[in-house]
Amino acid sequence: MNSETKTVRMTAEEAAQYEVFKAKQARKAAAEKARKDREIYSGMVDDQVNQALPVLQNLSGNISEVKARILDDFKAILDMKADVLKLTKEDQRSHTFTTSDGLKRITIGRRCCDGWKDTVNDGVAIVKEACLALIKDDTTRALVNQMMRLLARDAAGNLKASKALQLRKLANELDNERLNEGITIIEEAYIPTLTKSFIYAEYKDERTGAWKSVPLGMTEA
């Protein structure tokens, strides 16, 4: 069967209209393809998330169970440690246990996070005001500068308790009622909180002798 090629004659105006039509059809086809691609992508996301989430939930549950069991197993050892070494358990927030051969160790504990009531800002303002009023010579200026550094906040705008609570010792040298009032407000505003218990497991590398951590988190594994 012979195929015939037909030539269509168009005016310049008709040719321009035809090109506009073709461009419009191309845009329409591209938009439809993009829509279908988005649907396919969305479906892939749904499928993968639905598959992954139960696995991760199961893993989380297993981690929680193992963690609870490990902490419970070490509770008797902690009680005995306090009795044998005559320690107050509350005074120590972390404990490291190393095997007799020095090749394995586990650390359990909780971290203390700084926390403050809003009144800490009033205490800081009073201390700064009182300090500036106490500058009389180079000695008092140096002491005041030390106290100001203790009140300096970190990059995140947080007051460091380990520094702020040292103010009392320096203030004793100045013996000022207003200064002591501000420091008392700061001390009373301190509300530390403890994190959840953590567990670190480590072992010594046989070749290098360096301690290596057992990865227990999704990031470290």
> Could you tell me whether strands 94-98 and 193-194 are parallel, antiparallel, or unpaired per DSSP bridges?
unpaired
Whether residues 43 and 142 share a domain: the answer is: no
pTM above 0.85, yes or no: no
Complete DSSP assignment for 176-196: -HHHHHHHHHHHHHB--EE--
Low-confidence ranges of the chain (pLDDT < 50): none
- CA-closest candidate to residue 168, choices 150, 183, 190: 183
109: left (phi over 0), alpha (psi -120 to 50) or beta: left
Number of compact structural domains in the chain = 3
The residue segments making up the domain with residue 208 are 93-111+195-221
The pLDDT tens digits for 76-127 are 888 888 777 766 555 568 889 999 999 999 999 988 888 999 999 999 999 9
- Which pLDDT score is estimated for 91? 59
Verify that 179 and 73 share a domain, yes or no.
no
